[in-house]
Amino acid sequence: MSVKERDPLTGHQTTGHEWNGITELNTRVPRAVWFFIIVTHIWALVYWVLMPAWPLVNTYTRGLLGIDQQEQVEERVAAADAARGVWADRIAALPLDRIRDDTLLMTHIDQTAPALFGDNCAACHGSRAEGGPGYPSLVDDAWLWGGDDETILETLRVGINAPHPDTRYAEMLAFGRDGMLDRDQIRVVADYVQSLAGLDSGASPERLEEGAMLFADNCSSCHGEDGAGMYDLGAPNLTDSHWIYGGTDQALFETIYGGRQGWMPAWENRLTEAQRKMLAIYITSLADGGPE
């Protein structure tokens, strides 16, 4: 069968190939396909001429229209920053109680603060601010340094044990590692601390009395004679049910034996004053049961 021969059924030329009586037709590409191919190439040529398209050695072709998407994005970001700056400046200038009374400002904070918390705080305190081993919960009423507005703002600004000149310093001594208490004494103190929090350690009254004496000699200077903690030192309250590192026998032994030194970044050089105020309002709202 020659190439010029036509198929009697379709009228198309054949290719000259045949397999078991099946003839291959030399079917033409549909005109619609050629149309779209041509239009696509024309559109590409027009785009190359009008828009930035081809990379060069140190730059790229700018196009006749001179459109620069990077500049457009930068302009939009600048416009958004300018719009945000209007209400952000007001937040920076006002005390927290007056900000809470401003419905418009609180609307901006409700829209901004959750993402601000997620980007900067959730990695340690959790997405729901419930904390975890070594990281305090922010949704309860247990505060190390105090939960009033000014104290929270200061903690956010200078951090805890951070490389900031005004940072807050707090450290739990390593009573076992440094030889101040032996292992049996640590266990006795741990039993007494559990009793302060209302936990039943199974210790005898005599053991608890011994633990109270050891506590008074070694722990009360920071945690207070009643174990209720001291805000000035960042020493936690030992009489409630809130534990940073855990209240089990093993957790308490490790804490007393090896000590603890928590750490929180100082946010003054990373977050603006307005952002820190938004976070402070958001955090206190979580402690009060969540944003309204």
Q: Which residues contact 174 (CB under 8 A, 6 or more apart)?
A: 257, 258, 259
* Six-digit token string for 223: 């945690």
- The secondary structure of 34-95 as a DSSP string is HHHHHHHHHHHHHHHHHS---B-SSSB---TT---HHHHHHHHHHHHHHHHHHHHHHHHHS-
The answer to whether the CB of 116 falls within 8 A of the CB of 272 is no
The dihedral built from the CA positions of residue 159, 163, 169 and 174, taken in this order, carries a sign that is: positive
Q: Is 41 annotated as a binding residue?
A: no
Q: Which residue has the tokens 């069968």?
A: 1
- How far apart are alpha carbons 106 and 255 in whole angstroms? 41
In 3-state terms, what secondary structure has residue 276? helix
Q: Is 230 annotated as a binding residue?
A: no
Q: Is 108 annotated as a binding residue?
A: no
Q: Is 172 annotated as a binding residue?
A: yes
Q: Which residues contact 20 (CB under 8 A, 6 or more apart)?
A: none
The dihedral built from the CA positions of residue 239, 243, 244 and 245, taken in this order, carries a sign that is: positive
Q: Is 219 annotated as a binding residue?
A: yes
Q: From the annotation, which residues make up the binding site? A: 121, 124-125, 172, 219, 222-223, 264
Q: From the annotation, which residues make up the binding site for heme c? A: 121, 124-125, 172, 219, 222-223, 264
